[in-house]
Amino acid sequence: MVSDDDVPVAAQNKATRVFVLRARAAPTTGRDLLAEVGQQAHTEILAHTLMNALFVAQSHRPDVAVHLVLESSPDYSRTLSFDSNDLRDLGGFYEQALLGKIAHALDASAGMGKEERRQVEPGISVRTLSYEKLVQELACDHPLFVLDRKGTPIRGKTFTGNPCFLLTDHLPMPKKSLHSLERLGAEKISVGPVMLFASQCVVLIHNELDQDNV
């Protein structure tokens, strides 16, 4: 594993579309993560979101980055980053394979200090980085959009630059965090009036942006 702690996320990630999933209840060891599949932490959401962000029929999407931030930790949050341009073999696009990759990346982070980074394999890295710090870094190069049912409808909206979409698992974003995102210029957008899973929101976001590229 190669450490390149001094390279900021914004410099590492030149992707056209960026998705950040905040998983507040997700544990940060591989064993505990797998044990929580279908349980209260609902760690399967991580795999579903990763699947829908990266894959299309018979292929994968280029120029997409996904950051999974797992926060139920005795020491530091873990930010797992997946770059679709550099990924080699995820072992399949089914839930078990993707959860295995996530668990492997978590296990690779054992013993890391605060805000360190390790390259786990091509296209996959792990950082002991908080959600707040990650978003601050991404805000340097990406316009931020946070999913909110009361936000601006995504349909018909034109996105410029390299948009970064901020999602959560089954636990809502804390109000304090929303205020912090507003200070960073994050805009609230809505994919519809019904509360959806993060993985479903990703599909709808991709579809809207795909229309602009036709």
Question: What is the tens place of the pLDDT at every residue in 112-144?
Answer: 999 999 999 999 999 999 999 999 999 999 999
* Amino acid at residue number 202: V
15-209 CATH, one of 3.40.50.670, 3.40.1280.10, 3.10.20.30, 3.30.70.100? 3.40.1280.10
Which whole-number Å values give the CA distances from 133 to 23, 61, 114, 210, in the listed order? 15, 27, 12, 29
CA distance 18 to 66: 6
Question: What is the tens place of the pLDDT at every residue in 161-184?
Answer: 899 999 998 888 878 888 889 899
The residue ranges of DSSP E strands in 97-202, in sequence order, are 117-121, 124-127, 144-153, 164-168, 187-190
CA distance 41 to 58: 31
Domains of the chain by residue range: 15-209
Residue pLDDT tens, the chain, 214 long: 444 444 444 334 455 899 999 999 999 999 999 999 999 889 999 999 999 999 988 788 999 999 999 999 999 999 999 999 999 888 887 899 999 999 999 999 999 999 999 999 999 999 999 999 999 999 999 999 999 988 999 988 888 889 999 999 888 887 888 888 989 999 999 999 998 999 999 999 999 998 876 4
Give how far the C-alpha of residue 209 lies from the chain's centroid of Cα atoms, to the nearest Å. 17
Here the tokens at position 81 are 């980053």
Give how far the C-alpha of residue 189 lies from the chain's centroid of Cα atoms, to the nearest Å. 17
Find the angle CA(106)-CA(66)-CA(44) to the nearest 5 degrees.
Answer: 60
CA distance 92 to 110: 25
